[in-house]
Structure formats: C-alpha cells, structure tokens
Structure 1
Amino acid sequence: MTDYRVSARRIDSHGSLSVAKEAEVMLDTDMAGRSDAMNPVELLLSSLAACMLKGIERVTPILKFQLQGAEVHLEGIRQDAPPKLTLIRYQIVVDSDETDARLDLLHRNVLKYGTISNTLSAALPLEGNLIRKV
C-alpha cells in the first residue's frame, strides 16, 4: 500500500500554494481566476495527463515499444448544478513508427495500470484515443 501526502495553504485571496516532497505548485483559488496558476479542474486534468504519461514511461520498456515523444490533450465537461465534471475527453499522441496494433496495445496498458485513470473512470466516463503523431 502506498500513501501520498500534499499540503496546501492560502496565501491570499488570489492564490494558494500546494507542496509535496520538494515541489511547489501555485493554485488558482481566486474567485475571478488567474492566468498564471491552474484552477482545481485544470489540476485534476493535469493529474490524469501525468498519469497517462507516466504509464507510457512504465510500459514502453516492458512492451519494447519505441517512441520519440508523447503528449496528452484533455477536455473536462462540467455541469453547473450540482457542479461536477460529467465527462473527460482525452487524446494521447505518440511519435512512433510502431504498428497500429502496437499503438492499441500501448493504449490499453496505459489505461489498465493508471492509478488516476482507474480512479476517475470509476467516477465518470473517460472517452478518448491514442493516435500516431503526423
């Protein structure tokens, strides 16, 4: 069993700071919003993106999968009442010469072994694909 620890504190009415290990992340907790920090939904989507990218790093050596790069694009769909995300759409783009069948294998493994993707998919639909960079 692994546990994770994060602390966050309010700096002022415009922002807060989150700390984990030796890393710090400025949080957009301003009611008007701010462009230099991520809001809570953007942080959640970033967590999913990081999970998917880390999953790629984890499984590519096991699958002997060759790639030159990877990126993830996400979109969260929010309803207002009650406020919640109802859908997350994603697209994973890999720069690779592997076959389409191998791209599908990578996609399945990234989703199957992702802590954040498994947690979120139990709460709301995750819709997306993994494609080759053109």
Structure 2
Amino acid sequence: MTNNQKKMTFDVVATRTDAHGSIARTKSAEIMLDTDLAGRTDAFNPAELLLAALSACMIKGIERVTPILKFDLRAVEVKVHGIRQDVPPGMESVEYEIIVDTDEPDRRLELLHDNVRKYGTVFNTVAPGTELKGIMRRRTE
C-alpha cells in the first residue's frame, strides 16, 4: 500500500551574525538565537527553542482540534520545564502544564489533552527520547 498524500516540508535557515548570536529565518519570519557561549537574555538558546517549539506544537494542536470537537475555550497557556543531562547531552526530562480557560466538562478537557499527545508533530518527535509528562488543567481564578 502506498501513501499518495503529499508530505509537509519545512525549511529554516540559520545564520551566525557574530560571536554573540545568530538569526533563524523561515517564510517571512525571523527569530534571534542565543548562540553566545556566555549566554544572553534577549534571545532563545537552543534548549529554550526546543521547549518553545513543543509549546507551540501543543497550542497549534489545540487550535486544530477545537473546531472539530466543538470545544469552547477562551485562552490557553503552556508552561514547560526541561532538565538537561550532560552525558550524553540531551533533554533528560520535560514536564508541561497546559492551562485552559474553558467551561467544558473534565472529560472533554481530557479528550483535548489526548489529542494534543496523539497528534502533535513536535510532541511525538520529542516523546520517544525524553521523559515527557504533563497535565492539562482548567484555569482557576
């Protein structure tokens, strides 16, 4: 059986600007990268970019399935915490908390969380090599 569906492709070009940083570009967007060995506070370092990509993946997944599920929400916030191991270098574990402002019942919140875990491209790329765990909860004021 062959899959005739066209596969999605993505292209990013990163360029070193100087010893303190680089710029990554895709489409008509760009983001400053912290590639300074001393670190810098005004740009994302590679590990933070990975966590940001994971967060964006979760939010995009929520945006994708809410119309299908007819899930009503007002806001979403994702908090991600990663722990790096030194040998071999890599993310040892990533914990996340997805906070959804909604009046939907708990079972629907869990259904939304299941969809995030099942269909996220970055989520499913990170999960096999990292202890990835988290919760989705309702925003409480």
Please indicate the TM-score interval, normalised by the length of the shorter structure: over 0.9
2:44 equivalent in structure 1 = 38
Match in the other structure for 1:55: 61
Aligned identity (percent) is 56
In structure 1, stretches of 5+ residues that fail to align are: none
Q: After TM superposition, what 4+ stretches of structure 1 lie above 3 angstroms from structure 2?
A: none
**1:100 matched to 2:111:** no
- Higher mean alpha-carbon deviation, 11-20 vs 76-85, is at 76-85
Question: Displacement of 1:111 after TM fit?
Answer: 1.2
CA offsets per residue over residues 96-127 of structure 1, 9 Å max, x none? Answer: 01111010000001111100001111221211
**2:4 maps to what in 1?**
none
- Unaligned 5+ residue runs, structure 2? 1-6
- Cα offsets for 1:41-66 (capped at 9, x unmatched): 00000000000000000000000000
After the TM superposition, which residues 5-24 of structure 1 pair with which residues of structure 2 at under 5 Å, given as runs? 5-24=11-30
Distance in 1 (CA, whole Å) between partners of 2:45 and 2:116 is: 25
Normalising by structure 2, we get a TM-score of 0.93
TM-score normalised by L of structure 1: 0.98
